[in-house]
Chains A and B, each alone.
Chain A
Amino acid sequence: MTSSRKHQWTSARKLAPALLTTGALVLTTAACGGGDSGGGGDDGPVTLRLSWWGNDVRQGLTAEAVALFEESHPDITVEQEYADWDSYYDRLTTQLASGDAPDVFATEIRRMGEFATRGALADMSELVETGDMDPEILTTGQVEGTQYAIPTGANAFVIMANTTLIEEAGLELPDDTTWTWDDYREFSAQVTETVGDGTYGTQLSWNDAYLNIYAAQRGESFYEDDQIGMSAETVADWFEYNNGLVESGATPDASLSAEIGNTSVDQSLISTGQGAFGMWWSNQLNAVTTGSGSEIEILRWPQDSGAVSGGQFLQPTMYWNIAESSGRKDAAAELVDFLINDPEAAAILGSDRGLPINGVVREQIEAELPETDQQSLAFIDELSNELADPPSVNPVGAGEIPDMLQRYGEEVNFGRLSPQEAAEAFIDEANSSLG
């Protein structure tokens, strides 16, 4: 009896501190929820939250760079939050909506304008040193003249070819300075036929960058005045071309294409050694090379005679943004500045978020970059006088465009809509959700 009463007493005594701690926790959480994680002052220790999407490789590189930053900025602690691409924006928008936004976060060209117009992003022009950055790429971080975002690096959407696979099949890669869209399809179909056994020439891509290039070759731009700038004819031809890839056997059949249509670069046909070609971003060259274990070469886009340009363009891979709600924009800016302008950080990060856009930094580290990065650099340098201007920030609603293209493209591939019908329906739906 006595022992049990004693026991109750001790547990009550233990309870009091526990309750106090809980109370303190609630208070701290409430303070964080208010969005000024640093307490609002300009000095003193601060904890920043850094949010981005990506795979394990990126996680490792970023952690390394952030550790270096913390070393040279003992007052600043960085907490990283990262997610898969698929769930990244869901989480970010929910955090923004609930006033719990990370101080620094990544966005990309399709969505950044939307966040900027809705007032979620801080003006970074006074905060980050941009003097050495490529001016053309830097402009892509502006919305209506205000620098809401700093590009993390430059990227090109390219055709990659597994030259090992092609050689082993006893085929000869066509000359990419002269090849046409028909050549690309026919050669891909030939790969499927020659190699067989679950290996295909190429895989469908519904990336809007691919259509962007296709349209640019005809002198049309993807967006104009916050609406679709392409003609229905161009979009229809593009749907028809993709359908031709399926019909000719250059890609898997319609349903298998739909099944693998959602895979990430790591699971793509070219990365698993089951495809000769793939359309991916240049910063993914490393992932494709590692995945396939083969020789991967970057090629020029096919062109039909009469094309006004090759259509190849550079665009910011991603942006770094600072939340308008951040209580310590100064510290947040130091972090962004470090990630972009510090040569040591750049050497660690390489081209994982695109090739460095700070010219001075780039020159310093070029020799140290991994082989695949040097390969992308060489390709971009080779094309430097053929490159089209980087696209401007996409209109509000552009984030849904790739899914829309895939939806209508599949309607065509399954024979439910003609390319013409699909193109008109796509333009209608896109225009009503843009702007």
Chain B
Amino acid sequence: MSTTQGTTLAPQLRKRRRKEAVAAYLFLAPWFVGLVAITAGPLLSSLYLSFTDYSLIGDSQWVGFDNYVEMFTDDPRFLKALNNTAVYVFVSVPLQLTFALALALVLDRGVRGLPFYRSIYYLPSLLGGSVAVAILWRQVFGSEGLVNEVLGWFGVEGESWVAHPDTALGTLIVLNVWTFGAPMVIFLAGLRQIPRSYYEAAGLDGAGQLRQFFSITLPLLTPIVFFNLVLQLINSFQSFTQAFVVSGGKGGPSDSTLLLTMHIYQEGFGNFQMGYASAMAWFLVVVIAVLTGVNFLMSRYWVFYSD
């Protein structure tokens, strides 16, 4: 729009435009300063540090790619953490999106008191990353927690879910799935965009509910699915608080809840290996970037933009 108008603008108008632009930049300035000083600065210095043996206190030396090599050759816990993170992300994200979509579909059918339900289901998304909920999780899935209490009614005696290496990661996955509110709200907004007339027409042609879902709802919703997928993948890779609190800051039992973010934290602040921790953090950045890139490439084949 601006390109077509730019050439024909009256000088007075152009002057006002410029003034507005200056004002805009002034208003944006605090944000830019913040970006450079608080985000970009530390980001770049951590990239530099990842090539050093920086230990938080004292001097550091340039070590080239040593840190990046060490991850794969000399740190079995890193590989374990990578594996845990992969399981955590690739199990919880699809489940979470499925739940979100299913609930959005139910709510979209015009439930009475929709705003109330929407808020209720959205609540976990606001709370899920908090320390309080993680502590609650410890109680619910602890040896004398709610889950075992309920199992007890059926004569099943459960062990501590958060403290057994076979189930501990599972409880974290459930916690992540439980925060399906945010993608649900976005799905709900997407569903509202689909013209009702499509369904009426399909109904007249004799398409059943299932058919309508797969032929109308899902294809028209793919941009939203894609958006949620990218967002949740990135978020889940960065999960930290839940694992940290549920395992008491250790990633146990026997490293079963050691996510990559937690290993980074432990190496950096526990072991003073800040250079090495930076290298792992950058590896995580690359993994997320590559996956997001692949996602975008793949999206050509399954995301349908109607306009």
Residues of chain A at the chain B interface (Cβ within 8 Å): 86, 89-90, 93-94, 96-97, 114-115, 118-120, 252-259, 261-262, 397, 399-400, 403, 406-407, 410-411, 414, 416, 432-433
Chain B 138-174 per-residue mask, 1 if CB under 8 angstroms from chain A, else 0? 0000110000000000000001101111000000000
Most chain B beta-carbon contacts within 10 A, residue among A86, A93, A96? A93
> CB-CB < 8 A to A97: which residues of B?
56-57, 274
Q: Which of A90, A257, A259 contacts B269 (CB 8 A)?
A: A90
List B contacts of A261 (CB < 8 A).
Answer: 163, 248, 252
User: Are B250 and A255 touching (Cβ within 8 A)?
Assistant: no
Specify the chain A residue showing the minimal Cβ separation from B270. A400
Asked if B271 and A407 sit within 8 Å, CB to CB, the answer is no
Report Cα–Cα, A86/B271, bound state, in Å: 14
> In whole angstroms, what is the CA distance A139 to B163 when docked?
41
**In chain A, what residue has the closest Cβ to B54?**
A97
**Given the complex, which residues of A lie within 8 Å of B57, measured CB to CB?**
93, 96-97, 115, 118-120
Q: A256-B143, A414-B164 are in contact. List 18 more A-B contacts (CB 8 A).
A: A86-B249, A90-B270, A94-B56, A114-B272, A120-B58, A254-B164, A258-B163, A258-B253, A259-B143, A261-B248, A400-B270, A400-B271, A403-B250, A407-B250, A407-B252, A410-B253, A414-B165, A414-B253
CB contacts (< 8 Å) of B205 on chain A: these are none
If over half of B's interface residues share one DSSP class (helix, strand or loop), that class is named, otherwise mixed; here it is: loop
Other-chain residue from A90, A118, A258, A433 in contact with B164 (beta carbon distance below 8 A): A258
Q: A93-B57, A119-B58, A414-B165 are in contact. Are A255 and B272 (CB under 8 A)?
A: no
Given A94-B56, A397-B271, the answer on whether A255 and B249 have CB atoms closer than 8 Å is no
Contacting residue for A416 out of B56, B250, B254, B272, CB 8 A: B254
Can you list 9 contacts pairing A with B, beta carbon distance less than 8 Å?
Answer: A89-B269, A89-B270, A96-B56, A118-B57, A118-B58, A256-B160, A399-B270, A400-B270, A410-B252
Over the window 243-274 of chain B, the binary record of Cβ atoms lying under 8 Å from chain A Cβ atoms (1 yes, 0 no) is 00000111011110000000000000111101
The 5 closest A-B pairs by CB, nearest first: A262-B248, A259-B163, A118-B58, A258-B163, A255-B160
> Any chain A CB within 8 A of the CB of B55?
yes
- Contact indicator A416/B142 (Cβ below 8 Å): no
The residue in A96, A120, A258, A410 that gathers the most chain B C-beta atoms within 10 A of its C-beta is: A258
Closest to B265 in A: A90
Chain A: minimal CB distance from B117 (Å): 35
B307 adjacent to chain A (CB < 8 Å): no
Quick one: closest B residue to A101, CB to CB? B57
Give CA–CA (A96, B54) in the complex, Å: 13
**Are A262 and B250 CB-contacts (below 8 A) given A97-B56, A255-B159?**
yes
With a cutoff of 8 Å between Cβ atoms, the chain B residues found around residue A407 in the complex are 250, 252, 254-255
Nearest CB of A to B78, in Å = 12
Q: How far is the CA of A93 from the CA of B255 in the complex (A)?
A: 25
Q: Between A and B, how many residue pairs show CB distances below 8 Å?
A: 81
CB-CB < 8 A to B252: which residues of A?
258, 261, 406-407, 410
Q: Show the binding face of B for A, using Cβ within 8 Å.
A: 55-58, 74, 142-143, 159-160, 162-165, 248-250, 252-255, 269-272, 274
Contact A255 to B74, CB < 8 A, known contacts A96-B56, A400-B270, A410-B252: no
Q: Which residues of B contact A411 (CB under 8 A)?
A: 254
CB distance from B46 to the nearest CB of A (A): 13
Please report the C-alpha to C-alpha distance between residue A388 and residue B253 in the assembled complex, in whole angstroms: 34
Please tell me if the beta carbons of A259 and B165 are within 8 angstroms of each other in the complex.
no
Q: Whose C-beta in chain B lies nearest to the C-beta of A260?
A: B163
Residues on A with beta carbons closer than 8 Å to the beta carbon of B249: 86, 262
Q: How distant is A76 from chain B, measured CB to nearest CB, in Å?
A: 26
Chain A residues with CB under 8 A of B56: 93-94, 96-97
Bound CA span A397–B272, Å: 9
A154 to B74, CA, bound (A): 39
The closest CB in chain B to the CB of A415 belongs to B165
Q: How far is the CA of A262 from the CA of B56 in the complex (A)?
A: 26
Name the distance in Å between A288's Cβ and chain B's nearest Cβ. Answer: 21
- Considering the complex, give the chain B residue whose CB is closest to the CB of A86: B249
Instruction: Name which residue of chain A comes closest to B145, CB basis.
Output: A259
A90 to B274 CA separation, bound complex (whole angstroms): 12
Q: Which residue of chain B lies nearest to A432 when distances are taken between CB atoms in the complex?
A: B74
In the bound assembly, the distance between CA atoms of A258 and B166 in angstroms comes to: 13
User: How far is B248's CA from A374's CA once the two chains are assembled, in angstroms?
Assistant: 34
Q: Give Cα A96 to B248, complex, Å.
A: 25
Say whether B164 contacts A255, CB under 8 Å: yes
Q: Residue on A with the closest CB to B167?
A: A255
Which residues of A have CB within 8 Å of B74? 432
Instruction: Give the distance in Å from the alpha carbon of A120 to the alpha carbon of B253 in the complex.
Output: 34
A259 to B57, CA, bound (A): 34
Complex Cα–Cα for A259 and B164 (A): 8
Chain A residues lying within 8 Å of B164, measured Cβ to Cβ, are 254-255, 258, 414
Let me know if B163 and A406 touch, CB within 8 A: no
> How distant is A388 from chain B, measured CB to nearest CB, in Å?
29
Task: Say yes or no: A433 contacts B165, CB within 8 Å.
Answer: no
Q: Which residue of A lies closest to B58 (CB)?
A: A118
**Complex CA distance for A90 and B249, rounded to whole angstroms:** 12
CB distance from B254 to the nearest CB of A (A): 5
Q: Are A406 and B250 in contact (CB under 8 A)?
A: yes
Q: When A90-B269, A414-B165, A432-B74 are in contact, do A255 and B253 touch as well, CB less than 8 Å?
A: yes
Rounded to whole angstroms, the CA-CA distance of A257 and B269 in the bound complex is 26
A94 and B57 alpha carbons, distance in the complex (Å):
9
A86 to B248, CA, bound (A): 9
* Chain A: minimal CB distance from B263 (Å): 12
Contacts of B254 in A (CB 8 A): 407, 410-411, 414, 416
Contact indicator A433/B271 (Cβ below 8 Å):
yes
Min distance, Cβ A116 to any Cβ of chain B, angstroms = 11
* Distance between B103 CB and nearest chain A CB, rounded to angstroms: 32
| CB < 8 Å neighbour of A255 from B163, B248, B269, B270 | B163
Q: Are A93 and B271 in contact (CB under 8 A)?
A: no
What are the residues of chain A within 8 A of B269 when measuring CB–CB? 89-90, 93-94
Complex Cα spacing A115 to B142, Å: 38
Return the contact of B142 from the options A96, A259, A262 (Cβ within 8 A).
A259
